[in-house]
Structure 1
Amino acid sequence: MNAQMVLTTGREALTLLLMVSAPVLLVVLAVGLVVSIFQAVTQIHEATLSFVPKLVAAVVVFAIAGPWMLGTLVDYIRRTIESIPALAL
């Protein structure tokens, strides 16, 4: 295993991490922004008002995109494990 292979594997892992986490992060960011604007307009500063909608949005995103996320991660892990014999060369 040379340095190029290590860098390629690391880059693929980071790209996969960003790709899998992006849907949840973007939805929670959007919901947080909407809730913050709502709190600023109505001057309601309740801690649970900012937490609960983000939690619900994250659960909904996981319910919708979860199978895709899991499939993508399983495919990456399978490819990584299958490439182990080639590393011995």
Structure 2
Amino acid sequence: MRLDKFLKDARLVKRRVVAQEMIEVGAVRLNGRQCRSSALVRVDDVVEVAYPTRILTVKVLVDDEKVIRRKGIVSYELLKERRVSGEEKPW
């Protein structure tokens, strides 16, 4: 599954376009590396998402988009959440 689609379907980002913009500016990492929106996400990958006030680190549990879209399905495990100030750069 594509990274931008995973972020949207897992409800980490509200819209796919926003996910693509975040990936483009470097606010999302896949397994510790910057990547493209088209990067493939697989089970056990680690995704880091930098929001303005926090950084989430999650482990992918499900990479099938049909399963993720079902209500009540948890597609990731929260590994770490770190608060950051507005001026601090996440990485």
Q: Which category describes the TM-score, using the shorter chain as reference length? A: under 0.3
Taking structure 1 as the reference length, what is the TM-score of the superposition?
0.25
Taking structure 2 as the reference length, what is the TM-score of the superposition?
0.24
Name whichever structure is richer in helix by fraction: 1
Name whichever structure is richer in strand by fraction: 2
Larger radius of gyration: 1
Structure with the larger RCO, 1 or 2 (CA within 8 Å, 6+ apart): 1
